Each structure stands twice: as C-alpha cells, then as structure tokens.
C-alpha cells in the first residue's frame, strides 16, 4: 500500500509525538529502535514496537499513538 505524502507526514508526526511522550519510560534500545523505524518510514513497525513496549510495561498508550493506529487501520 502506498501512502500519500500528507498521510506519511501526519503518521510521522503522531508517532514521533508518541515516542517523545513516553521515551523516558522506555529502554534506550526501544527508543533507538522506534526512532530508526521512523527515520526509514517504517511507520507500521514503529507503531507495533512502541505499542508492544508500552503494553509490556503496562503503560497507557498516548492519544497520538492511538490516533496513528487508527489512521493506519491497526486499531478500531
């Protein structure tokens, strides 16, 4: 699936915002991995890793992460 540039920009913004919101609670490795996926435009993988890390830590997902998931069709 090809995403138009405005959607790609929005996803990058939402996911970057999500990472910034929770970064202090994540391991340095998870922070680096999510950032690397974002840098390469792998938004679905970045979303999955961030959601997994937050679930593992039993932390609530930021609203920006939920919104990104909805825009990618990964959350209802």
pLDDT in tens, 44-54: 999 999 999 99
Q: Please provide the DSSP assignment of 26-70 as one string.
A: S-HHHHHHHHHHHHTT-HHHHHHHHHHHHHHTT-PPPHHHHHHHH
pLDDT in tens, 26-47: 999 999 999 999 999 999 999 9
Angle at 34 between CA 31 and CA 75, to 5 degrees: 125
- Is residue 68 a contact partner of residue 47, using CB atoms and an 8 Å limit? yes
Residue 1 has pLDDT above 60, yes or no: no
Per-residue pLDDT, 7: 93
Mean pLDDT for 17-28 is: 97
Per-residue pLDDT, 75: 78
pLDDT in tens, 56-72: 999 999 999 999 999 99
């Amino acid at each position: 699936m090809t995403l138009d540039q405005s959607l790609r920009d929005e996803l990058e913004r939402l996911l970057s915002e999500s990472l910034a919101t929770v970064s202090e609670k994540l391991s340095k490795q998870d922070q680096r991995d999510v950032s690397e996926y974002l840098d390469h435009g792998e938004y679905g993988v970045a979303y999955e890793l961030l959601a997994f890390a937050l679930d593992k830590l039993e932390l609530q997902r930021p609203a920006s992460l939920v919104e990104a998931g909805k825009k990618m069709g990964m959350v209802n």
